[in-house]
């Protein structure tokens, strides 16, 4: 067995050409679909180099790492893919989740991101190119989705508790729409207590550890939904699509909480999500919600599901009974 595996697949893209491409396209977090011609992603990422060995150590030079980083910069905003029947542009909206998943703090354009990704690819049967292409993005999303609630049976009345209107984003929300599964509510309160202790979040709260009436962040927007209520929401938003308002919603269980993380509370437009993913509260949730048993729905920054046990996101929890 070769100790070091550096393989060239086809021709390594010339770095100067790639850098020119990056600067001409820009890689900001624009919400609008790119106006330039679609990029041939396969051509961009396929002729690439493996940048680590079997022990996860970097074997490529900095130039190869930088090439992967430059490809990630472009792909993060330009890569066209489909989710929930809708065309998606780039994966920059998921950078906080990807960073947390890889255990790093660096953005897509960094060598550290490429290296951490290559190590993850190597241990997950993918070519360790350090480039977040279709296969790797798909594999990561699969891990996230696999960590969510699987059994979406309707909660029974005795499993639910009615929460005070003061804890909801809409203080006039009707009582029948303020029900939460009991263990989920207890976990939410533990998580909230931890968030209130985090001074950088600046959450206005009362002396009894509840959020102040004029504080919006982390208040509950929506929790338990009956099948009838879900159908009503679907009729009101016929264009929400499968990725948004599911027929078989995790909200049926009372274990899914939509929490306010900024912007328009539950709006999936890229511009809105681009705002939400950079709020301190969302970033705190990404790093901390897992400790309290909550898992994200990557596509909706506000949607968190209580799965009952705190584990590493790389290590999906067992399905709930």
The residue ranges that bind Zn ion (CB under 5 A) are 258, 303
Give backbone dihedrals phi and psi of 159, rounded to 5 degrees, phi first: -85, -10
Minimum CB–partner distance for residue 86 and Zn ion (Å)? 17
Whole-number minimum distance, CB 16 to Zn ion, in Å?
46
Q: Are 71 and 22 in contact (CB under 8 A)?
A: no
Separation CA 118–CA 128 (nearest Å) = 4
Q: What is the DSSP string of 43-94?
A: HHHSS-B--B-TTS-B-S-HHHHHHHHHHHHHHHHH-EEEETTEEEE-SGGG
**50 neighbors 128 (Cβ within 8 angstroms):** yes
CA distances from 49 to 45, 128, 258 (A): 9, 8, 41
Token pair listed for 44: 């961009």
Q: Where are the alpha helices (DSSP H) in 149-293?
A: 182-196, 227-236, 270-276, 280-288
Q: How far is the CB of 296 from Zn ion (least distance, A)?
A: 11
Burial (CB count <10 Å: 0-12, 13-18, 19+), residue 290: buried
> For residues 53 and 231, which CB has a smaller minimum distance to Zn ion in the complex?
231
Q: How far is the CB of 256 from Zn ion (least distance, A)?
A: 5
Question: Cβ of residue 279: shortest distance to Zn ion, in angstroms?
Answer: 17
User: CB 109 → Zn ion: shortest distance, Å?
Assistant: 31
The DSSP 8-state label assigned to residue 158 in this structure reads: G
Give the sign of the dihedral formed by CA 223, CA 250, CA 286, CA 264.
Answer: negative
Q: Which is nearer to Zn ion, 41 or 147 (CB)?
A: 147
Q: Give the residue at shortest CB distance from Zn ion.
A: 303
**Least Å distance between CB 260 and Zn ion?**
12
């Amino acid at each position: 067995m070769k100790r070091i595996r550096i393989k060239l697949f086809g021709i390594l893209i010339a770095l100067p050409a790639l850098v020119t491409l990056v600067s001409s396209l820009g890689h900001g977090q624009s919400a609008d679909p790119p106006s330039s011609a679609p990029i041939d992603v396969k051509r961009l990422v396929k002729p690439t180099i493996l940048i680590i060995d079997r022990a996860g150590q970097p074997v490529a030079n900095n130039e190869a790492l930088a090439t992967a980083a430059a490809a990630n910069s472009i792909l993060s905003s330009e890569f066209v893919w489909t989710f929930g029947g809708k065309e998606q542009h780039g994966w920059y909206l998921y950078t906080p989740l990807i960073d947390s998943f890889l255990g790093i703090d660096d953005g897509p354009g960094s060598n550290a991101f490429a290296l951490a990704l290559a190590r993850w690819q190597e241990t997950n049967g993918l070519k360790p190119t350090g480039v977040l292409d279709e296969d790797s993005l798909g594999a990561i999303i699969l891990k996230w989705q696999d960590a969510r609630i699987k059994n979406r049976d309707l909660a029974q009345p005795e499993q639910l508790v009615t929460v005070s209107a003061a804890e909801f984003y809409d203080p006039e929300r009707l009582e029948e729409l303020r029900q939460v599964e009991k263990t989920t509510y207890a976990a939410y309160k533990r998580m909230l207590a931890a968030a209130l202790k985090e001074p950088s979040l600046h959450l206005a709260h009362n002396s009894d550890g509840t959020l102040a009436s004029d504080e919006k962040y982390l208040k509950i927007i929506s929790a338990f939904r009956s099948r009838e209520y879900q159908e009503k929401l679907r009729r009101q938003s016929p264009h929400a699509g499968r990725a948004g308002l599911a027929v078989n919603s995790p909200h049926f269980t009372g274990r899914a909480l939509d929490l306010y993380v900024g912007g328009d509370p539950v709006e999936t437009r890229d511009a809105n999500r681009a705002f939400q993913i950079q709020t301190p509260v969302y970033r705190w949730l990404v790093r901390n919600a897992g400790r309290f048993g909550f898992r994200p729905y990557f596509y909706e920054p506000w949607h968190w599901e209580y799965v009952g046990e705190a584990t590493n996101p790389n290590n999906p929890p067992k399905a709930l009974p």
